[in-house]
Structure 1
Amino acid sequence: MSRIGKLPVQIPSGVKIALDGCAIQVQGPKGRLGRNLPADVKVLVEGETIRVEPLSLEAKHRAVQGLVRTLIANMVDGVTKGFERILEINGVGYRADLKGNVLNLSLGYSHPIEYKLPEGIGAEVEKQTKITVRGVDKELVGATAAKIRSFRGPEPYRGKGIKYADEKIIRKAGKTGKK
Structure 2
Amino acid sequence: MLTVRNIDVKNPWALKMEQFTRFSTDERGRLDLLISAKQRSHAAGKDIIPQGSHSNHCHVLLTGIACRYTMLPDGERQIMAFLVPGDLCDAEIFVLNRMDHSVAAISASTTAMIHADEMKKTLREVSPVAEAVVGHDGRSGRAARADRRSRPPRCDRTSGAPALRNAGPI
> Which bin holds the TM-score, normalised by the shorter protein?
under 0.3
Structure with the greater relative contact order (CA < 8 A, sep ≥ 6): 1 or 2? 2
What TM-score comes out, normalization by structure 1 length?
Answer: 0.25
Higher strand share: 1
Higher helix share: 2
What TM-score comes out, normalization by structure 2 length?
Answer: 0.26
